[in-house]
């Protein structure tokens, strides 16, 4: 294909980087797609799952800058292969809690093979019914062990990501010409997006199977108590990571074409690179140079605020869809990972085409990043308005208070087992509806009777209304879900359209010898200020609007129902505020990027290179 055509001939380095990046994205999107199932299985509050998810960012913070500086001078493909091997260990550790602790008692009770008379037989005492005496509180097994194991797995993954991100991107850029960089970056980003798409799709498929595929469940996967085979995909991902690490290990330290270009470089550039030594003092000098680089600093601040506001959508979007629009975990995951990411891919490809064809200036790219922020804020504000009245009605119910009709039923430790009354209201359990008996029809469906809370609002028909059927009442939020999906696809498209421009600004605003270190340092800063606190903060917000906890003797467990209306307003308005603040820093990037060179045609005169050499030499002598 001729030079300047689109799509370009993607260099081997870009193909390798994109493919491996896709596998990494596949793993982390799979975790996001199964996070609600993990919360149910191990009774984890959302703030705890948010803490688990930042384990990789903590280790990235501790290792990224040093690995980017020191390993960047070594055999980068082999270091990247090591990172993939570490990610394989991460995937295996993520699956290990299932093999250690099994499917769990709550899941087993909802299968035909584990039906027992004490739980399902209508003639026996049912712990979900209104009891005249306080039931024994059985201390549940400690859930901290699987939580720690999941956190350790995430922590280990951050080391692999540090090696991969800081070295892979610089390896790809160094082994291609600058004229091909915009198109190459956009196409590689497109290929990388296939990873999250496959990751969410894999999660959707795995969650359709019951947590123990050999057993026959009594409920459908539309039931909120359904636990899918969350562990299955991690086994597949482990195998993929190991195979990828092997092939990447075979790559040379430098591709022949890149070596030829390097040998033709001018003498000044050669001397500049020769002045770089592997020492802590040189690294500190690199930090000083980057701190004085206003484009680098402002771009990082803008990214920090954007990521802080948008991180909850990356991690908790499937959970948001489940709670707000009452969709199954499989449906929520599939919508997030296929339809929405298709628009992200379109945005990346279109932006790559525009940048390759028209070669906009650095200022134009920075201006577009600011416009992307404004569009994102407007879209998130639309999320506030896209609510579902039926869902708000269902999830606004709180557990009974001491002076309510269930005060004598002792429902404190009754697990979430929803029932639907004739008034089309979903109750947390038969106990919370005040039901004292139940009947089973020929199809095995349960009908609860004597539900004193249901008839309390209609004294004339109290005896006729005091019954309920097993399962939650049907809620139709599909129309609102489609509207939300449309807005989300628009935001994915717009956000992805600025990805190539932002990456080019990050690569071109620093010198070649600082490139790997700048990426590593930027990743550290963003992790400390955004990726670590943001999931914890928004996880805490999610928990603060919980109205039904899966309470046990030892802890509150996981949340089953949320105050969806209040939650929708709080999360979206707070996220929009952070992103809006970040848009102002893009103005600073736009102002200071006027002299930034993006393409080969803009190479500075040789005397400017010599001036840069003299300044670097003088700086070194002073230190």
Q: Does one domain contain both 407 and 495?
A: no
Tokens of 280: 């802590």
Residue 472 pLDDT: 80
Tens digits of residue pLDDT in 103-120? 888 888 888 776 544 444
Is there a domain that residue 267 lies in?
no
Of 470, 493, 525, the residue that ends a domain is: 470
- Quote the pLDDT of residue 594: 81
- Res 94 pLDDT > 90: yes
Residue appearing with tokens 């209304």: 465
Task: Give the number of C-alpha atoms closer than 13 A to the C-alpha of residue 58, restricted to the C-beta side.
Answer: 15
> Quick one: how far is CA 475 from the chain centroid?
27
Q: Are residues 552 and 413 in the same domain?
A: no
For the ranges 55-69, 118-132, 225-239, the maximum mean pLDDT occurs at 225-239
Query: Is the same domain home to 166 and 241?
Result: yes
622 inside domain: no
Identify whether 2 is part of a domain: no
420 and 325 part of one domain: no
- Our count of domains for the chain comes to 2
Q: pLDDT tens, 207-264?
A: 999 998 888 888 888 777 889 999 999 999 999 999 888 888 887 776 555 555 555 5
Q: Judge if 466 and 519 occupy the same domain.
A: no
Query: Buried b / exposed e across 407-443, counting CB within 10 Å, b at 16+?
Result: eebebebbbbbbbbbbeebbbbbbbbbbbbebeeeee
Does the pLDDT of residue 172 top 70, yes or no?
no
**459 lies in some domain:** yes
Residue 269 covered by a domain: no
- Asked if the structure places residue 160 within a domain, the reply is yes
Domain end (from 425, 446, 470): 470
Q: pTM of this prediction?
A: 0.76
The answer to whether residue 400 scores a pLDDT higher than 50 is no
* One domain for residues 538 and 453: no
Instruction: For residue 525, count other CB atoms closer than 10 A to its CB.
Output: 18
577-622 pLDDT, tens digit per residue, is 999 999 999 898 898 888 777 775 544 444 444 444 354 444 444 4
- The model's confidence at residue 154, banded by pLDDT at 50, 70 and 90, is very high
Look at residue 196 and tell me whether its pLDDT is greater than 70.
Answer: yes
- The whole domain housing 435 covers 397-470
Does the residue 62 lie in any domain?
yes
pLDDT at 263: 56
Do 504 and 445 share a structural domain?
no
Q: CA angle 309-311-316, nearest 5°?
A: 120
Residues 219 and 352 in one domain: yes
87 with 204, same domain: the answer is yes
Of the candidates 413, 443, 470, which is a domain's last residue?
Answer: 470
What's the whole-number mean pLDDT along residues 570-579? 95
In a domain, 1, yes or no: no
Do 368 and 487 lie in one domain? The reply is yes
Residue 490 in this model has a pLDDT that exceeds 70: yes
Q: Are residues 404 and 335 in the same domain?
A: no
Looking at the structure, tell me whether residues 608 and 483 fall in a common domain: yes
Q: What SS3 class is residue 546?
A: strand
Residue 540 confidence class, pLDDT cut points 50, 70, 90: very high
Question: Residue 432's closest CA among 411, 447, 463?
Answer: 411
């Amino acid at each position: 294909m001729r030079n300047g055509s689109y799509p370009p001939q993607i260099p081997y380095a870009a193909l390798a980087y994109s493919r491996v990046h896709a596998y990494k994205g596949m793993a982390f999107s799979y975790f996001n797609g199964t996070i609600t199932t993990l919360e149910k299985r191990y009774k984890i509050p959302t703030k705890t799952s948010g803490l688990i998810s930042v384990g990789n960012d903590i280790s990235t913070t501790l290792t990224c800058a040093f690995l980017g500086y020191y390993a960047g001078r070594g055999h980068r493909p082999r270091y990247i292969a090591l990172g993939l091997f570490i990610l394989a260990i991460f995937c295996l550790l993520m699956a290990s809690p299932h093999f250690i602790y099994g499917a769990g008692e709550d899941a087993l009770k909802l299968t035909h093979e584990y039906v027992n008379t004490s739980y399902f037989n209508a003639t026996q005492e049912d712990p979900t019914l209104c009891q005249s005496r306080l039931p024994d509180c059985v201390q549940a097994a400690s859930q901290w062990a699987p939580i720690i194991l999941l956190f350790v797995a995430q922590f280990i993954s951050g080391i692999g990501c540090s090696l991969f991100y800081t070295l892979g991107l610089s390896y790809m850029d160094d082994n291609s010409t600058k004229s091909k960089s915009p198109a190459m970056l956009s196409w590689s980003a497109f290929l990388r997006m296939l990873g999250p798409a496959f990751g969410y799709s894999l999660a959707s498929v795995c969650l359709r199977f019951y947590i123990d595929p050999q057993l026959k469940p009594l409920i459908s996967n539309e039931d909120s108590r359904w636990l899918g085979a969350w562990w299955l995909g991690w086994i597949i991902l482990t195998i993929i990571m190991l195979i990828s690490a092997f092939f990447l290990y075979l790559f040379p330290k430098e591709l022949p074409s890149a070596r030829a270009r390097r040998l033709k470089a001018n003498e000044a550039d050669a001397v500049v690179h020769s002045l770089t030594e592997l020492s802590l003092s040189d690294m500190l000098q690199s930090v000083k140079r980057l701190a004085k680089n206003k484009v680098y600093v402002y771009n990082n601040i803008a990214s920090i605020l954007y990521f802080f506001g948008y991180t909850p959508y990356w991690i908790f979007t499937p959970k948001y869809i489940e709670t707000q629009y009452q969709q199954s975990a499989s449906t929520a995951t599939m919508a997030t990972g296929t339809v929405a990411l298709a628009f992200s891919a379109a945005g990346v490809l279109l932006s790559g085409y525009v940048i390759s064809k028209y070669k906009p200036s650095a200022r134009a790219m920075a201006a577009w990043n600011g416009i992307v922020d404004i569009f994102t804020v407007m879209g998130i504000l639309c999320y506030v308005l896209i609510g579902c009245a039926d869902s708000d009605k269902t999830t606004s119910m709180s557990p009974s208070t001491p002076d309510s009709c269930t005060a004598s039923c002792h429902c404190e430790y009754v697990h979430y087992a929803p029932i639907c009354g004739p008034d089309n209201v979903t109750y947390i359990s038969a106990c919370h509806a005040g039901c004292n008996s139940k009947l089973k029809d020929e199809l095995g469906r349960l009908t609860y009777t004597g539900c004193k809370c249901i008839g309390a609002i209609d004294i004339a028909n109290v005896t006729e209304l005091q019954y309920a059927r097993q399962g939650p009442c049907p809620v139709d939020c599909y129309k609102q879900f489609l509207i939300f999906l449309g807005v989300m696809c628009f935001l994915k498209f717009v956000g992805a359209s600025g990805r190539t421009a932002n990456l080019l600004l990050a690569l071109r605003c620093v010198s070649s010898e600082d490139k790997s270190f700048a990426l590593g340092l930027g990743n550290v800063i963003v992790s400390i200020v955004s990726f670590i606190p943001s999931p914890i903060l928004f996880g805490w917000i999610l928990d603060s609007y919980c109205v039904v906890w899966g309470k046990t003797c030892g802890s509150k467990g996981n949340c089953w129902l949320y105050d969806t209306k209040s939650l929708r307003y709080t999360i979206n308005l707070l996220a929009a505020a952070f992103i809006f603040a970040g848009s102002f820093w893009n103005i600073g990037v736009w102002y200071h990027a006027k002299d930034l060179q993006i393409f080969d045609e803009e190479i500075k005169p040789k005397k400017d290179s010599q001036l840069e050499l003299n300044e670097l030499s003088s700086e070194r002598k002073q230190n």
